[in-house]
Structure 1
Amino acid sequence: MEIRNIAIIAHVDHGKTTLTDCILRHTGAVTAKEDRERIMDSNALEQEKGITILAKNTSVKYKGTRINIVDTPGHADFGGEVERVLSMTDCTLLLVDAFDGPMPQTRFVLGKSLQLGHKPIVVVNKVDREGARPGFSVDKVFDLFSDLGATEEQLDFPIVYASAKQGWAVNNLSEVPGANIEPILDMVLAHVPPVKRDSDKALQFQVTALDYNEYVGRIAIGKIYQGTMKKGADVTLAKTNGTTANYKITKLYGYEGLTRYEIDEAGSGDIVAMAGIPDVFIGDTVCDMGNPLPLPAIQVEEPTVSMFFMVNNSPFAGKEGKFVTTRNLRERLDRELETNVALRLEETEDKDRFKILGRGELHLSILIENMRREGYELQVSRPEVIIKHNEAGEKIEPYETLVMDLPDQYTGAVIQELNRRKGELTGMDAHTSGITRVEYIIPTRGIIGFRGHFISETRGEGVMSSRFLRFDKYKGEIPGRKNGALISMDSGESTAYALWKVQERGDLFIEPQVSVYPGMILGMNSRDSDLEVNPVREKKLTNVRASGSDEAIRLVPPKKLTLEQSIEFLDDDELLEVTPQSLRLRKKVLDASMRKRSSGGR
């Protein structure tokens, strides 16, 4: 049976996972029990957030051909997932929204695909969307191919128009939409080269993903580049650091739809999973016994943002978490490093404090959310960009391309804020629908904390996305949060009466009957300075009867911050306490007098 290996790539929310669902349904690769919306998003966080976080592979059969499909993340923060799995494939389906056209992440993933020599098939998705501009999108895609240095052969890309949500595709917009997406699958068979079956050569299997099973141990997932892999065979593991070791393959798995099933043998071109090597890592090569032929290591772009992960030392430490010690935290981070290739860990002088480097705020916040769901308790600091020095000794910092689609009436306020954050306007394009696209090049420092302001300023109607561009000259100081914090001066349980008095000072993050401690942040001050307040004060009771009814206590509903919003809110002198049950903002120095001394009396 012939094999085609493809990856589906696109900007976030352009329909990759929905298209994969259509392919699985059309080819009968999923059962009625397995069928649901966004079938491939198996992770609980992926289903909640509606985005793909981890790259996943599946396999379908169509017209006598096996098509191995890799569904990739669309968010820039998970670019490490894309970089390591594209090498397994021979071609890509590039999805582009018919309304949005190419977005920042489109450039990133397409550039990686072109570098590997792929000849992408362009799928213009959501052509049924109101205001869709398929012609505009195709022109912009061609311009993007040219900007990325595509060859003449790559520039002659085939195009399919589709509505993955409705489950149809056509080769030409003049055609009447059919009832299926066969035009896309037919295009794959016609334009994707079949895998060369070099099964008689020496084995080369490169690991691109890891899984774990409590019965068989670590499972390595990857592509067999050449040779044959057999269950029970003795093999040599060639590690990326140059060392080798011998092992036996205890289990071998193939893929069919959503199912991973045991097989006895697989040949070149197959994407498989294998067990039996306890210390295998991403990028390692499995070879024939005594014949190590390592493949080039998988190259992943460097991290741009760092955060400190610390053992929780607040007054409420250990009350809600299951794993609270330094050893627990270290073991969990080491385990994450094994599979998350874009993550780095740096030791600090404090044994209870770890510096974690990643690709962005979302990349790190997903790790934090997973840890709290597993029962971990920790504290994290404000995200900081990674500053480097060039050959001339000058400070350089990461810059990003920022693209926003927002209603015309909000553009002035957003542009003013981005200019304050040292951004540089590179383009504006007004749509006929009253939406303006604004493009900026801005230091990553300027984007940290901007998303919440953007959502508030555009009344939730704006859409923004960014992508790492390059390291460039340091821009100097960038103003941080405009507002100060409302800080608790006492411990106990918050009361409605006390919060009623406090809410006049700003926006509250907590409601009554919440346990608080001194130094804990209760809300955002309406002014630019911090303010200490008493949230536990109770109303004094007297035996004097009031002539009229007491003034009614009316509380404004508190602003409940998500994990991402809490991280965005943080200032340099603040921490976020994360437990399985709670998110608490706090000052690094809890004691008010010591805090004033350390801040110079601010």
Structure 2
Amino acid sequence: MDIRNIAIIAHVDHGKTTLVDNILKSSKIFRENQESGDLIMDSNDLERERGITIFSKNAAVTYKDVKINVIDTPGHADFGGEVERVLKMADGVILLVDAFEGPMPQTRFVLQKALGLNLKPIVVINKVDKDNCRPDEVHDAVFELFFNLDATEEQLEFPTFYGSGKQGWFNDSLTPTDNIEPLMEGILKYVPAPKVSEGTLQLQVTSLDYSSFLGRIAIGKVTRGSIKENQPFSLVQADGTIKKQRVKELYVFEGMGKRKVTEVLAGDLCAVVGVEGFNIGDTIADFENPEALPIISVDEPTMNMMFSINNSPFFGKDGKFVTSRHLRDRLIKETEKNLALRVRDTDSADSFLVYGRGILHLGVLIETMRREGYELTVGQPQVLVKEIDGKKCEPYEILVIDVPEEFASKAIDLVSRRKGEMILMETKGEMQHIEFEIPSRGLIGLRTNMLTATAGEAVMAHRFSEYKPWKGSIPGRNNGVLLSKEAGETTGYSLDKLQDRGFFYVDPGEAVYAGMIIGENNKPGDLVVNPNEGKKLTNHRASGSDAATSIAPKTLMTLEECMEYIQHDECIEVTPNFIRMRKVVLDENERNKLAKQMKAQDA
């Protein structure tokens, strides 16, 4: 059977998953009366809630007797590791670009990886139905991007399609049609059939699936030979060890699901059941003469966080998995499929250092764990510092901000305070497009401040650039926090009296404990307050003092906002139903002692 393997790559929110929806609907894999919904491939709860793709997924459609394997990839820079490994399965890529925004940081990152693997690109300029779109300028910008990334002559002659995923049409000109057939024809015409070399079986595991019935399932592309049901094979691992095993079942992708088969030939993607103890990057090879494929290399993590057991007074009240053994097993299991993640043991048996690509990457892991019933404490995110040529170096990122003109000066001021340097500023329609080079540390906590300063209008994106010399100290949070003095339930009476001190993260009637952060102070420096005090009930009434209390509702913080908010002496308690911020040392006297010791050491 004729096959095409294609990955869809783009910056976040440029319409990858909507394009996959259109491909699935155009190939009639749903019945006429079947309700398919939108963003069909974003099946995970977290993906649907956030409206982003986190995990890459496979689907397969048949068009004019040609099987097209489609790989949907994430667009966030934090999930770049996910994109890097699945590109190994593709022979061509559809580079999707927004007709207004043009190429963005993540577009550059994933395109560079695709061109490096010599994949054939097709450029699709999406959202041409939007007001103030500029498809011709964007086409020129994409060509310039290809040129800057040292694309070959052949890659520079990329075909371009225009259209609107929302309206369900794509064409090789700006003339609207009523379907996406021109694009499907383009895939058949421009994407090469898989290159198949002669020889014995080779299949690199580039992804994995899990089934409660079948266990872990290895997914990859058969690059050489063929694989059959019940066939013995050798599993060649990264360190060179070879395990002899046997295939139990074989599946190929069909529509949104999988179909069981007895043999898969070179060039097709398949799922293999019965492979034990494999990792992503291992090679399933011939039983007699195993030959390994090159190991998948993934960029290094740039950030780490301390994960510990929950040791707050509310330990064990909410979660199902609370011990360090539970925590360690879950983190090790995550590293099997999350290639950009690393886990290291620390001096304490209860704490582990987890390395990741960014706040969102680690935040999604924590959010997934709390939904599974885990209780844990996480510390402030830290960037990874390296020594290069005897100099202390830290990771830098290219930060791109699109902001209305009247807020441009505020955006530049905010980034400059965090040691960012402006490298480009240009006008895009009604927006100012500004690019900075900024230490990764400077990005922590920047998004919230930026959205506040620009009335929510700023669009930010960033990608890792390189390690450069340390830039000195970067100012953190300006204000201190309000801390609870003792355990108990907050009262409306007490919170009402404290409102002039700051704003709160708790409502009346919530359980708190000593050392827990219950609000933000209006001034620098932390303040210990008593939010649990009730009104003294005497038989004397002061006139007018019994008026109803009017308390501002609590400020809600997402997990990522909490991660960006906390300082080095604070941490976040995460349980299935609560996210609480607290001091690492809960006792006020102990905290003061430690602070004095630290001052003495500095002096």
SS in 1 for 2:465: strand
By how many angstroms is 1:436 displaced? Answer: 1.3
Q: Which amino acid aligns with 2:134?
A: R
- Match of 2:251, as an amino acid? Y
Query: Does structure 1 conserve the Cα–Cα contact (< 8 Å) formed by 2:414 and 2:450?
Result: no
Instruction: Give distance in 2, aligned partners of 1:519 and 1:547.
Output: 36
Q: Which residue of 2 aligns with 1:370?
A: 368
Query: Distance in 2 between the 1:419 and 1:197 partners?
Result: 52
What is the aligned partner in structure 1 of residue 5 from structure 2?
Answer: 5
Structure 2 counterpart of 1:451:
447
- Aligned-pair CA distance for 1:545: 2.9
Task: Give the aligned partner of residue 425 of structure 1.
Answer: 422
Contact 2:95 2:123 in 1 (8 A): yes
Which amino acid is 1:377 matched to? E
Of 408-417 and 379-388, more deviation after overlay is shown by 408-417
For 1:262, the aligned partner's letter is: K
Aligned partners of 1:258 and 1:445: how far apart in 2? 40
2-structure distance, mates of 1:569, 1:337: 27
Amino acid at match of 1:322: K
Counterpart in the other structure of 2:466: 470
| 1:333 aligned residue | 331
Q: Which residue of 1 aligns with 2:20?
A: 20
What SS does the aligned partner of 1:260 have?
strand
Q: State whether residues 120 and 192 of structure 2, in contact with CA within 8 Å, keep that contact through their aligned partners in structure 1.
A: no
Aligned length: 597
2: distance between equivalents of 1:452 and 1:402?
15
Deviation at 1:549, TM superposition (A): 5.7
The one of 485, 497, 507 equivalent to 2:481 is: 485
Structure-1 residue corresponding to 2:106: 105
Q: Is the CA contact 1:209–1:220 (under 8 Å) kept in the aligned structure 2?
A: yes
Q: Counterpart of 1:600 in 2: which secondary structure?
A: helix
1:552 and 1:543 map into 2 onto residues whose CA distance is 18
CA–CA distance in structure 2, aligned partners of residues 59 and 299 of structure 1: 26
Aligned to 1:194: 193
Structure 2 CA distance for aligned equivalents of residues 505 and 114 of structure 1: 56
Tell me what 1:131 maps to. 132
- 1:525 and 2:526 aligned: no
Q: Given that residues 168 and 179 in structure 1 are in contact (C-alpha distance below 8 angstroms), is that contact kept between their aligned partners in structure 2?
A: yes
Deviations 1:369-405 (A, max 9, x none): 0000000000000100000011x21111111111111
1:502 Cα deviation (Å)? 1.8
CA distance in 2, matches of 1:593, 1:408: 50
Q: Deviations over 1:115-174 (max 9, x none)?
A: 01123110000000111011111111111111111111111111000101110011112x
The question of 1:503 aligning with 2:499 is answered: yes
CA distance in 1, matches of 2:429, 2:90: 39
- Where in structure 2 are the equivalents of 1:242-281 lying within 5 Å? 242-281=240-279
Q: 1:430 Cα shift?
A: 2.3
Alpha-carbon distance in 2 for matches of 1:599, 1:458:
36
In structure 1, list runs of 5 or more residues that go unmatched: none
SS of match in other structure, 1:498:
helix
Q: TM-score, normalised to structure 1's length?
A: 0.97
**In the alignment, what sits opposite 1:407?**
404
Shift of 1:558: 1.0
Q: Check the 8 A contact 1:217/1:278 in 2, yes or no.
A: no
Q: Is the 8 A contact 2:15 2:96 kept in 1?
A: yes
CA separation of 1:344 and 1:146: change in aligned 2, threshold 3 A = same
What one-letter code is carried by the residue in structure 1 that aligns with 2:19? L
The one-letter amino acid of 1:513's match is G
Deviations 1:158-214 (A, max 9, x none): 1000101110011112x2x1111111111111111112455x630001001111222
Counterpart of 1:321 (choices 294, 308, 319) is 319
Taking the aligned partners of 1:196 and 1:30, their CA distance within structure 2 comes to 31
Q: 1:239 to 1:548 in 2, by over 3 A?
A: closer
Residue 434 (structure 2) aligns with? 438
Q: Which residue of 1 aligns with 2:280?
A: 282
Contact 1:30 1:258 in 2 (8 A): no
Q: In structure 1, give the amino acid aligned to 2:189.
A: A
- 1:239: which partner in 2? 237
Residue 215 of structure 2 corresponds to 217
The 1:125–1:247 alpha-carbon spacing in structure 2 relative to 1, beyond 3 Å, is: same
Matching residue's letter, 1:354: F
Structure 1: distance between partners of 2:66 and 2:583? 60
- In the alignment, the residues of structure 1 paired with residue 34 and residue 252 of structure 2 have an alpha-carbon distance, to the nearest angstrom, of 21
**Alignment check: 8 A CA contact 1:4 1:194 kept:** yes
Q: Given residue 92 of structure 2, which amino acid in structure 1 is its aligned partner?
A: C
**Root mean square deviation, CA, Å:** 1.2
**Structure 2: how far apart are the matches of 1:159 and 1:375?**
47
Map 1:35-74 to 2 at 5 A: 35-74=36-75
- Structure 1 residue runs of 4 or more that deviate by more than 4 Å after TM superposition: 31-34
Deviation at 1:471, TM superposition (A): 0.9
